[in-house]
Structure 1
Amino acid sequence: MRMFTFKMNSKQIFGLILLLTGIVVVLITFLTNHPAKPASKSEGIRCSTTQERVDYINSFDLKTDSKEESKEIIIPEQFNDVYNKYNEIQKQQNFDLTDYKGKTAVMYTYNITNYKDNDNVIANLIVYDGMLIGADLCDTSADNGFLVALNDKT
């Protein structure tokens, strides 16, 4: 049986403690210093109740009459040009419908009552398993129609 021993003086012990402290500081710095990620499904926005959905819309300084319409939608398995453009609007808000291809979600629609003297504006929220996965703001009139991200300030 072999036994290893070593002898250290106080300067060596201090140096070892200093080295170990430095390693711990570097590890903590690298493990905790990472850029913020965009909202994802796991960090998503809960919208399972009418109040949560209305609160989300209100967070953009938009007011609604709180009357909601809902319908089940199926996110297409394959995106065409129109859906790719729609998904680009979603990506501007840190949503991405790509992960939900082929899934059934619920679209909630609310009338917006304070959008630039325009009575035709609605907000759509797309919810899957109680989590918000998409949103848009649109004008349903034939003359001035538009479709933008809910957080669009133009």
Structure 2
Amino acid sequence: MLIFTTRFSKKKAVLTVIVIGAVIAALVILAGHFQKGGNADLPQLTDNPQRVAYLQSLGWEIETEPLETLQFLLPATLTEPYLSYNQLQKEQGFDLSESCGKQVARYTYAVTNYPGRSTGVQINLYVCEDLPVAGDVCCPGSDGFQDILAYPESDT
């Protein structure tokens, strides 16, 4: 059996505690940074001008005031119709399951530049904790559609 002994002064003990505390603080900060890493490139959408600018950056021309604003609580577990809608969201890099159990706001805007349709097209933008979490472009009616937020590429 080996036994090691060492002298440990109060000064060394205090210095050791400070160094260990600094390492733990750095780990906590880094863990928080990497946990939010998936949202790092998403814009903060705290007000209407930021939401409008975000949609315009995607190529859309919209009426600047929302047609409708709706607040709702996303269920703790996604069931239909959220599961089907989330498949559309995953195509564009969103995932509603990350917002389960949280308050979500839906902002609906009228689109003025949808190719081939001058009226009747809307954009829904879903925001949770000031970040976009989902969205779609839709046209209600018998010849309607629902698609991702990306501006449609021309067929030319």
Q: TM-score range by the shorter chain?
A: 0.5 to 0.7
Choose 1 or 2 for highest CA Rg.
1
Superposition deviation, residue 112 in structure 1: 0.3
Is residue 2:73 matched to residue 1:74? yes
Aligned to 2:146: 147
Amino acid aligned to 1:138:
C
Aligned to 1:58: 56
User: For the structure 1 residues 42 and 61, does the alpha-carbon distance in structure 2 shift closer, same or farther, using more than 3 Å as the test?
Assistant: closer
Q: Note the 1:1-154 alignment, pairs <5 A.
A: 40-68=38-66, 69-118=68-117, 119-140=119-140, 142-151=141-150, 153=152
**Segments ≥4 residues shifted beyond 4 Å:** none
Structure 2 counterpart SS, 1:66 = coil
Unaligned runs of 5+ in 2: 1-36
2:135 and 2:114 map into 1 onto residues whose CA distance is 16
1:56 and 1:131 map into 2 onto residues whose CA distance is 11
Count of aligned positions: 115
Does 85-94 or 71-80 show the bigger shift? 71-80
Structure 1 counterpart SS, 2:38 = coil
Whether the aligned pair in 1 keeps the contact of 2:105 and 2:127 (CA below 8 Å) is yes
Does 107-116 or 73-82 show the bigger shift? 73-82
Whether the aligned pair in 2 keeps the contact of 1:136 and 1:150 (CA below 8 Å) is yes
Unaligned runs of 5+ in 1: 1-38
Structure 2 counterpart SS, 1:90 = helix
**Greater share of strand:** 1
1:65 and 1:41 map into 2 onto residues whose CA distance is 27
1:41 and 1:143 map into 2 onto residues whose CA distance is 37
Structure 2 counterpart SS, 1:46 = coil
Name the Cα RMSD after superposition: 1.8
TM norm structure 1: 0.67
TM norm structure 2: 0.67
Superposition deviation, residue 80 in structure 1: 2.5
Superposition deviation, residue 113 in structure 1: 0.8
1:42 and 1:60 map into 2 onto residues whose CA distance is 18
